[in-house]
Structure 1
Amino acid sequence: MTFRRAWFLLGAVFAASGLAGCSQSPLVQDAEPAPMVVAVDRQEVTITTFATLELEWSRPEVLWVAASGLVTEVLVQPGYTVPSGSALLNVDGAPLVGLHTPAPFHRALEAGDSGDDVAMLTDALAAAGDLPAETADNTTFTPVVAEAVQQFNQRHNLGNTDSFDPSRIVWLPKRSVVAGQVNLRAGEEVAGRTIGFTLSPELLDARLVGLSRPISDWANTSVILPNGLELPLPEDGLVPANSLTILQEAVDAGVPDLNVRVEKRLGTASLVPVTAVQQSARGDACVYDKHSNVHGAVIVGGEAGIVYISGTSLDEVLANPTALDLANCGGMEVDG
């Protein structure tokens, strides 16, 4: 352990004890109390602090409605998950179906047409189960594709036609999206190219800030959200990508930050009085046993009047060893 690290922890403990105003080292007392042997308590120790989890969200995307007519029913509400192939609303009594493709469709398609948009259509039909997978990515609207389109239209109550009408489709940027805001109401007239829905933003990044100690001191710890959800915290302070989905489901979309609790479980530590801990010339920590023998220790935390140490199995330590002229760890250099 470095001098700065040991001094920081001991200084914090003394500050909590009301001794931080001393002009000399906090390990030197103005009035030397008598040395005494004290029992060492061992406990499972968890260090806790509070910090802020900064959240970065994507810009909300919108779903466009291309149909014209009277909105007779809205089938999606805020918070609904909308998978590709599901109906979002009815216009003039007929559904508008959400469909995921690499890009929106810009023209009607029928038998004999060809182009990249036909390939997009065949891929979507194959994904929906209306077209055999081996015939997907076909750039020509063949009779087989026409039959698949007719099956798709029938299945979604879009009529018995074998042509593809993009005005009955709401393009989805992903195979599944979450509605954040509904922009249309039943009884409202639409006249093509209308924003029908605003999607919930996606959580892109979550970073822990505001720690009182370097993030490296909190590596491999846990972040506890206000609802009790616990997430692992790596050394860089970034919530792992595989935890972002869990985090997004636990918070309100778009919130900029969260006040969280950070916990580091240190395992079993020895709890000794702060007056039992000394420092070597280079800043390493030590304690003395009842026979005045020096033992190296590693400071892992503390609270008012108490220091948490590891690296020693002593059952008893000597408090106030400076009264016996035992200081600076006997001049030894302790490996921390």
Structure 2
Amino acid sequence: MNRIMPRLSAPLLVVGAFAVLSLGTVAGAVLVPTAAPQSIASTVRPTSVQATEITTTDEQTATLRVTARPAQKLSSRAAGTITADDCQPGGTVASGSSGPTVNDAVLVHLATSQPLWRDLSVGDTGADVRSLQAELSRLGQPVEVDGRFGAGTLRAVSRMAETAGASDARSWSTLPFARFIWLPAASVVIASCDTGMGQEVAAQGPVATLPQGVSDAVLTPLPDDVMAGDRVVVADGLTIPVDAAGRITSAADLERLAASQAYLRYRGSSSDSGPNGSEAAGPDGSASKPGMSVQYRLAQPTTVFSVPAAAVYATTGSTGCVVDEGHARAVTIVGSQLGETFVVPRDGSRIGSISLDTRKAPRC
């Protein structure tokens, strides 16, 4: 017996057809993979990045704390009548040059770290002898800096004094300290002359006055997180070396700072100067004037490589490792900024492509 199938109406057939098509579309969406949109694909995290080579002086703004030096007198150890004098206000006096002539004896300017305080005979020793020898050596005299006043030192100081104009120096058997005028630096500027031809000068009497200067200058506070290396401070084109503590140690450099336009503006711009231009003191006796704004940088430019901080691993202090072109490399960390670490390869070579995945990286 034949089974009679139910008769479907036309509307039901149409609905069924749409249902089949819908199921096919869903199945296709599930089974057929589609490419990620470009906006999503572009956010895939890279596994390596090219290191950026940077030439830098690691320049930073810093504050130079300056201690002013009051006006200073140059004194004669000899007493008598000024028989010759070429002192000029605004002129420059250098160590090893002639000073005023007292009773027809030429006095000689000499810049030593310790002022001469006694006559020196062959065989004498001491810090004053060593500082004399150091200055003679700086002036080009062949002398050993050993702190002992020997015949060689006597000949050297006699030659220097004779060159300066002391015609009797060759006959010296000892060093007559009264024939020398001590200078606080190798070269100084004269503010005023305190004696003149025909005037009397007493022992330890002033013969000239130096302008106000600088006795000390140091970065306060000393910037941290800086690259290692010799460093300088720069103010309006004036470049001066500083030591590891940020201090200007050379007397000549302190004189250069004192004579600079940057320092003159700094002193003139402050309203808390004391009498004669000295810095006003705070309750503890320290100078209360704010410091000079300077740039603190490396003396010579250096090359570093900028890499993502995540690329540096196995760090100990300022050392670490990176994976460069698949090889572990030892680096020195010299700084960091905004997620970037600045490194220098320990072997002095260049860095190329840096791996960002250091989870299984070997130690360098």
Same topology, TM > 0.5: no
Which structure: larger Rg?
A: 2
Between Structure 1 and Structure 2, the one with more strand by share is 1
TM-score by length of 2: 0.41
TM-score by length of 1: 0.44
- Structure with greater contact order relative to length (CA < 8 Å, sep ≥ 6): 1
